Structure 1
Amino acid sequence: MPSHLSADHPAAQPPGRGSVDALISQTRRLKGDVNAARGDAQEEGSDPQERWQRALYDLALHQLSDLDEHLAQLRDGPAPAPPAPDAVEPAGHASAAGTADGAPSGSLLSRVGSAEWDLLTDEASWSGELYQILGLDPAAAALTLDELPSLVLDEDRPKLTAMVTDCLVDARPIDGEFRVVRPDASVRTVHMMGEPVLDSDGSTASMWAVLRDVSELRRHRRTVRETRDSLHRHQQRAQTEHRLAAELQEAVLPPWRGPLRLPRRGPRTLDLAAHHLPSATSSPIGGDWYDALELPDGETLLSVGDLTGHGVAVTSGMAMLLGALRGMAMAGTQPGQLMAWLNQLLDATVQPALGSAVCCRYRPATRTLVWAQAGHPAPLLYRDGTGRTLHAPDGVLLGATTGATYGQAEVTLEPGDLLLLHTDGLVPGHVGTAAVDRLLDLAPRLGTVRTAQDCLRVVVEECGETERQDNACVLIAKVSD
């Protein structure tokens, strides 16, 4: 671009062709890599982070395409001058393979035009590309500086006027954007860079400018900004929901921490310890619970369970189930019937969900454990340094089948016996029988500790809390003499 500050200086020589070819090759390889990574991204989906990533890929590809064409121009020199206006097809009759000025449709050449306005003769000279950018007939006369604002959106006209005035009066370079309305009513964003051309006495004789259609670039950047803002809002909502779910879970789980003995009076009590193990990742709070409650008849209720899903809604559903379980147990409902009513309750909720649970009633007078389960891992019994899984009575997942019935099982415990109740996910990287086997392998170590709290410490140390992908709960009951 001519400059009033350097008009007498010789133009800089273009770089060697070989070095530019190398840059073009690097750019195209990078573009191919980005395009391949873009292809691996999910095309559909509502995840805000995926939408933001796709928008960044699209913006990067757009900018790399422009860089490729810039370097090609640097290597090959200026594009050929456009044909005379009377030899050019009207803008509305561009061929499908290219634009009216011969540039490929959508290429950088078709999005960059130039213009010069002579202040002495009030004449204007435009390149063919500029006519295309503005959607005008190349056969028409170029617009003067006074006529140019007629194409600009009303709210952007003061910006254009200020840029031109600063250039003509104060000899300041132009570098700004404005929006134009084409004859077909489409709106395009144009970036204009210009400088005054001075005559021999230092006054402004003309103004020369390059105008670039940056509509697609701005659209990609706007998409990146909008998806980034959406991602931030999603993260803030997720953080808020995580905090609310954690607070709700903290409120409904048993208030006791550390060791507990139930029933609180009399011999043959259970020494209890329990722990909730949160996920080591950023996954939301789940619906896991544990509970121990002394009942009016002197028996003790033990339960653990898990409602499928994550978040505040699931934690609220867990609180509802746990409240119902406590109420029915206090009323004397036996474990099998209790499970049936919990299944009916979950089946009748507005938002259907699935849950698993195990519920036990311990009778200290006879050291008898009566229990039922709903699609949940059975309790583990450790005795004399060995462990085994209790034989589970029939029971399907809560909420899976209307009118389901649940069986009961009964086992007599001995002094020193240890019961371990847990939810899925207690053993990271292990599910089903593999997780149970891992827990049963702890039998020799658990047989050497005296209290339920010490047993819990062994389990937590073995299962770990640093690599956990999901929430889990564990409840340990040790039968006293």
Structure 2
Amino acid sequence: MPSHLSADRPAAQPPGRGPVDALISQARRLKGDVDAVRRDAAGGEADHPRGRWQRALYDLALHQLDDLDEHLAQLRDGPLPTAAVSEPAPRGSLLSRVGSAEWNLQTDEASWSGELYRILGRDPAAAPLTLDELPSIVLEEDRPRLTAMVTDCLVDARPIDGEFRISRRDGDVRTVHMMGEPVLATDGSTASMWAVLRDVSELRRSQRAVSETRDSLHRRREAARGEHRLAAELQEAVLQPWRGSLRLPHRVPGALDLAARRLPASTHTPIGGDWCDALELAGGETLLSVGDLTGQGVGVTSHMTMLLGAVRGMAMAGAGPAQVMAWLDQLLDATVQPALGSAVCCRYRPGTRTLVWAQAGHPAPLLFRGGTGRVLDAPDGVLLGATSGPVYGQAEEALEAGDLLLLYTDGLVPGHTGRAAANLLLGLAPRLGGDRTAEDCVRTVVEEFGTHEREDNACLLAVKITAESRS
């Protein structure tokens, strides 16, 4: 592009090679660092919207740094002559990305750098397009934008800074960013217009990818929040509120002291299928149950509400714990979306202080008495939905006034399951023995394990046998 003088300042002189070379080295080091971080992060959440969004941002940053590197190189080396484009340049190289032009309004002549021919897909042997001819290669919907920019520059002496799309002779559509200024004559009139044009097609593609993946991630988060709200509402609709000790509506005061707590996961894990429940039955007996369905989200929570309703209905109809387990297995096996679950179902008979219970692949209740604790011997039982027609056993446990039962779901002790979790809970026996109420016992367990990072939801039900239990 020919040098020019504006009315208010001389044309800027190119900087020396030394400072520009230093900037180029810094840009390339930064580009290498970004690329290394991108490769390190490539293995995580590859198919998740968050992972796609992060990759798109890395690609966008690299495109920006590529542009910076190449623009600095051209600043150092100067524009190439028109003849330099006679040989094809690799797609995405400097030759195909930055060009310059000047249009002389007094002679109606145009001067293009070699790079601009490559950007616009023009034959370098052909004459450059005049300002009147330039719109002929611009997409029709973008022509008004180009016309407005050029008019503002020539009439009102405003700088040009905008984009438009061109259609090249090979059918490729490219996005071009143009920056320019008017060159004023001594009398203040516009003598010519100069501009730098940049092919930003790949950059805009990366920006669109970032925007699309960001929008996808936002929609996914909104859907997850909506699902979480629905799952929470389902839980609240069917589970006891468990704020403090539970007082069953018709229970003789002091017969059983009950308290429970639902402990949510520390992460953004959706609500799962955990439950704990207590229900008065005919004849003064009490139904106690805990359970957990595999999976998370509103589908699992809806399955949990169905199973809990079935447990209550079967128990009220007189079914014993083993029979309840067998029927629950059949019910879960018959659902449209089969799932696996574990559960403990108990009937407490206050007249004899007897606990009758069954389990389906679930941690057995813990019994604390006299400052020590033990795991109840579990009857036979397999996971609900794991096999066809399983047989569930039933056990009885004689309880005493002052005994404490803990029923819980996996996840109560973060990082531990099965026997390891049970042993840690049993280790609280000396402290639990001094607690006067079921709510005190729940508080002790939560203080010990409730503040840890939790990857899964959990439920805890504490049952204290009081001295007034015998009829």
- The alignment's TM-score, normalised by the length of structure 2, stands at 0.93
Matches within 5 A, 1:40-55: 40-42=40-42, 45-55=46-56
Pair 1:77 & 2:47 matched:
no
C-alpha distance in 2 between matches for 1:62 and 1:410 = 71
Pair 1:374 & 2:376 matched:
no
Q: Output one character per residue of 1:388-418: Cα deviation in whole Å (capped at 9) or x when no partner.
A: 0011122121122122221112111122111
Amino acid of the residue matched to residue 352 of structure 1? P
Superposition deviation, residue 343 in structure 1? 1.2
| Corresponding position of 2:23 | 23
C-alpha distance in 1 between matches for 2:317 and 2:211 = 58
Amino acid of the residue matched to residue 446 of structure 1? L
| Corresponding position of 1:450 | 436
Aligned residues: 464
Match of 1:297, SS? helix
Pair 1:398 & 2:400 matched:
no
| Corresponding position of 2:7 | 5
Pair 1:323 & 2:309 matched:
yes
C-alpha distance in 1 between matches for 2:456 and 2:323 = 30
Amino acid of the residue matched to residue 70 of structure 1? H
Change in Cα spacing, 1:220 to 1:199, as seen in structure 2 (3 Å) is same
Question: 8 Å contact 2:83–2:124 — kept in the other structure?
Answer: no
Amino acid of the residue matched to residue 68 of structure 2? L
Question: 8 Å contact 2:367–2:373 — kept in the other structure?
Answer: yes
Superposition deviation, residue 6 in structure 1? 4.2
Match of 1:271, SS? strand
| Corresponding position of 1:196 | 182
Q: Output one character per residue of 1:41-65: Cα deviation in whole Å (capped at 9) or x when no partner.
A: 3467442211111111010011111
Amino acid of the residue matched to residue 419 of structure 2? T
From 110, 113, 122, the equivalent of 2:108 is 122
Task: Give the CA RMSD over aligned residues.
Answer: 2.2
Q: Output one character per residue of 1:233-267: Cα deviation in whole Å (capped at 9) or x when no partner.
A: 22222222222211221111024532235694559
Amino acid of the residue matched to residue 115 of structure 2? E
C-alpha distance in 1 between matches for 2:368 and 2:298 = 36
| Corresponding position of 2:194 | 208
Superposition deviation, residue 192 in structure 1? 0.8
| Corresponding position of 2:39 | 39
Superposition deviation, residue 378 in structure 1? 0.5
Superposition deviation, residue 119 in structure 1? 2.2
Question: 8 Å contact 1:262–1:269 — kept in the other structure?
Answer: no
Question: 8 Å contact 1:343–1:399 — kept in the other structure?
Answer: yes
Superposition deviation, residue 72 in structure 1? 2.8
C-alpha distance in 2 between matches for 1:303 and 1:369 = 12
Superposition deviation, residue 312 in structure 1? 1.4
| Corresponding position of 1:63 | 64
C-alpha distance in 2 between matches for 1:64 and 1:10 = 27
377-386 or 428-437: bigger deviation? 428-437
From 157, 161, 165, the equivalent of 1:179 is 165
Q: Output one character per residue of 1:342-401: Cα deviation in whole Å (capped at 9) or x when no partner.
A: 111111111222111111111112221111111111100111111000111221211221
From 319, 323, 326, the equivalent of 1:337 is 323
Matches within 5 A, 1:227-376: 227-255=213-241, 257-260=243-246, 264-265=250-251, 269-376=255-362
Any gaps of 5 or more consecutive residues in structure 2?
Answer: none
Amino acid of the residue matched to residue 238 of structure 1? A
Amino acid of the residue matched to residue 309 of structure 1? G
Match of 1:116, SS? strand
Match of 1:232, SS? helix
C-alpha distance in 2 between matches for 1:15 and 1:395 = 83
Any gaps of 5 or more consecutive residues in structure 1?
Answer: none
Change in Cα spacing, 1:13 to 1:138, as seen in structure 2 (3 Å) is closer
C-alpha distance in 2 between matches for 1:192 and 1:58 = 23
- The alignment's TM-score, normalised by the length of structure 1, stands at 0.91
